[in-house]
Amino acid sequence: MTTAVGSPQTRGVDGPRGVGDLGRPGDSTLARIGRAYEHQFLLYKRTWRGSLFNSFLSPVLFLLAMGVGLGSYVDKGGGGALGGVPYLAFLAPGLLAATVMQTAAFEATFPIMAGFVWIKRYHAMHATPLEPRDIALGQLAWTATRITLVGAIFALVMVPFGAVHSPLVILAIPAATLTGLAFATPIAAYAATQNTMNRFNYIFRFGITPLFLFSGTFFPVEQLPGFLQPIAWVTPLYHGVALSRELALGTIGGEPLAAIVHLGVLLLFVVGGLVACLVAFDRRLLK
């Protein structure tokens, strides 16, 4: 336990109150994380329709317009730059990872900051036996659930489009989730330090949008000017897109080493972001 225990601000002057359903001091860490997770789940239960339907509509529209429509022009042009792969099959798995990244980034900005500044839900949670790390992990576990749902729906939509060339596409869903978390964890750590939403614009304008467009989702990174390619290599989305594409096309067996590198880079970002997140939540709630 931390120094906050028993301090009047966080515990109430007359001892531990409100312990009923909010979590008990004796709960295991996992149970406490579950409480924080449950909060998000209950919220989502009230508003899931819109977001779930969008999760269907977005891949349908993108694959229809860009994969099928624009793809017909790309394939007519020979498609040599794509290694003979139809544009739809090239685009779809990349877009899977990129879409999950976008959702993850959004979930890690406004809702996190709102939880500290506007709604103050994290402060409310902290007034119970939940520790900052329980709150952070519960929140991130929910983000992971949410983006896995988005990824799974996307993968499902890919099937009738004929954009799936291997049953390994199932593994592209956790790969996309990992990609999303590689963004969500460091961004959530940053969001936990913010009091307004102004700076989030920078993240989206100069981070998420350029990555979405230039990380090999829509066209191979080899088409980028030479000096930009190394930048693509160190961003998580490039690795997420490559991994997801190798899985959906079933070409992953050809280059196992590359796949391990992709996975390693993603894990590095997730672990680093996670640590940053724990520190940020700790600082914010215990200051």
List the interface residues with another protein, window 198-227 (CB under 8 A). Answer: 198, 201-202, 205-206, 209-210, 213-214, 218-219, 223-224
Interface stretch with another protein, choices 21-29, 70-78, 161-169, 239-247 (CB under 8 A): 70-78
Told to check if 258 binds another protein by CB under 8 A, we report: no
Q: Which two tokens stand for residue 189?
A: 């750590």
Judged by CB under 8 A, does residue 234 bind another protein? no
Q: Would you count residue 87 as binding another protein (CB under 8 A)?
A: yes
Q: Which of 19, 44, 170, 193 is nearest to 96 (CA)?
A: 170
Tell me: does residue 69 bind another protein (CB under 8 A).
Answer: yes
Amino acid at 188: A
Helices (H), 206-255: 209-214, 229-233, 236-249
Q: How far apart are CA 181 and CA 124, in angstroms?
A: 25
Q: How far is the CB of 171 from another protein (least distance, A)?
A: 27
Unique residue bearing structure tokens 């067996």: 253
CB 178 within 8 A of CB 270: yes
Q: Which of residues 1-30 bind another protein (CB under 8 A)?
A: none
- What is the number of other CB atoms lying within 10 angstroms of the CB of residue 277? 27
CB 132 within 8 A of CB 278: yes
User: Nearer to another protein by C-beta: 38 or 53?
Assistant: 53
What is the smallest separation between the CB atom of 64 and another protein, expressed in angstroms? 8
C-alpha distance across the termini of the chain, in Å: 15
Binding site for another protein (CB under 8 A): 43-44, 47, 50-51, 53-54, 57-58, 61-62, 64-66, 69-70, 73-74, 77, 79, 81-82, 87, 110-111, 114, 118-120, 197-198, 201-202, 205-206, 209-210, 213-214, 218-219, 223-224
